[in-house]
Amino acid sequence: MTSPGDVARRLARLHERIADAGGDPDAVRVVAVTKGFGPEVVTAALAVGVVDVGESYAQELRAKAEALTSAPREAAPRWHFVGRLQTNKVARLASLVEVWQSVDRVSLVRQVSAHTTSARMLVQVNVSGEPSKGGCPPDEAPALVAEARDRGLEVAGLMAVGRAGASEGARPGFRLLRELADQLGLAERSMGMSRDLEVAVQEGSTMVRVGEALFGPRPSRISRTRAGAGVGSNLGELRRT
Ligand SMILES: *Cc1c(COP(=O)(O)O)cnc(C)c1O
């Protein structure tokens, strides 16, 4: 279980890690990535003052947003979409998502601009060259940024996922993202997750996206399916047990 007290303690530790890496904990924004956890961790994040909340799957984001509307509304999270995005999911997410972090192709720029005028976006760049990762090739980032600006979207910055494996291996990619953002005059550099945030902060991250460092180990996919990802499948649970 993840209690608000646990999250408060882990957030303090996270701020220490950012400071130890030479970052300013007041300046590096923390986006709490809640994928795989239940809606209660969103409430816990809000309770400790983390209002930026990220999700990777469209259905999970919608389910959590719905679960939270019935809860007392102190403050609503500012939803970031951080996962692989399909163009046909944009319409149903547009009323919820405030920051589109994973825009990596022209068709997505068009969809986002067709459904919203106020959202901010980041262009995701594949800085590691790993085919399994989302993001446009680095040399396509300028054209995507230009396309988005032409359509009146606010491009806040760039986003990248660090190379898998030892965190040090992510450094060249993070450095490249920083350079690209500077060249394009973009202020935000969303890079760094629980395992590689020190390297990201050293390379100039302005926004870290963290799940496990705030909420503990992510439940396995199997137990998540059992729990129905929190979308009203108690019946299924009963039948199985
Ligand atoms: C899951 C995820 C994160 C957070 O990962 P943790 O290891 O839990 O910190 C960050 N960014 C993206 C794009 C993710 O999919």
Q: Report the CATH number at residue 65.
A: 3.20.20.10
The mean pLDDT of 137-158, rounded to a whole number, is 96
Please indicate, yes or no, if residue 171 is contained in any of the structural domains.
Answer: yes
Q: Which atom in ligand 1 lies closest to the alpha carbon of residue 210? A: 9
Please tell me the predicted confidence (pLDDT) of residue 75. Answer: 66
pTM for the structure as a whole? 0.91
193 Cα: distance to centroid of ligand 1 (angstroms): 6
Contact 230, 42 (CB under 8 A): no
Identity of the amino acid at 137:
P
What DSSP string describes 129-197? Answer: --TTS-SB-GGGHHHHHHHHHHTT-EEEEEE-PPPSSSGGGGHHHHHHHHHHHHHHT--EEE---TTTH
206 Cα: distance to centroid of ligand 1 (angstroms): 16
Please indicate, yes or no, if residue 237 is contained in any of the structural domains.
Answer: no
From 35, 41, 52, 174, the mutation candidate for ligand 1 (largest count of ligand atoms within 8 A of CB) is: 35
| CA distance linking residue 68 with residue 45, whole number of Å | 13
Q: How far does Cα 73 stand from its chain's mean position? A: 22
Q: Which two tokens stand for residue 90?
A: 């944009």
Please indicate, yes or no, if residue 235 is contained in any of the structural domains.
Answer: no
Please tell me the predicted confidence (pLDDT) of residue 234. Answer: 36
Does residue 101 line the site of ligand 1, with CB under 6 A?
no
Percent of the chain with pLDDT strictly greater than 70: 89
Residues 6+ apart with CB under 8 A from 15: 25
Q: What share of the chain is helix, strand, coil (3-state, %, to 5)?
A: 45, 15, 35
Please indicate, yes or no, if residue 154 is contained in any of the structural domains.
Answer: yes
Please indicate, yes or no, if residue 236 is contained in any of the structural domains.
Answer: no
Domain that holds residue 201: 4-229
Structurally, how many domains does the chain consist of? 1
Does residue 30 line the site of ligand 1, with CB under 6 A?
no
210 Cα: distance to centroid of ligand 1 (angstroms): 6
Residues in the chain: 241
Q: How far does Cα 138 stand from its chain's mean position? A: 20
The mean pLDDT of 9-24, rounded to a whole number, is 98
Residue 128 in this model has a pLDDT that exceeds 70 = yes
177-194 confidence digits (pLDDT tens): 999 999 999 999 999 999
Please indicate, yes or no, if residue 239 is contained in any of the structural domains.
Answer: no
211 Cα: distance to centroid of ligand 1 (angstroms): 6
From 193, 198, 199, the mutation candidate for ligand 1 (largest count of ligand atoms within 8 A of CB) is: 193
238 Cα: distance to centroid of ligand 1 (angstroms): 31
Does residue 211 line the site of ligand 1, with CB under 6 A?
yes
List residues bridging with 31 in a β-sheet.
209
Question: Where are the strands (E) in the chain, listed by range?
Answer: 29-33, 52-55, 78-81, 97-103, 120-124, 154-159, 188-190, 207-210
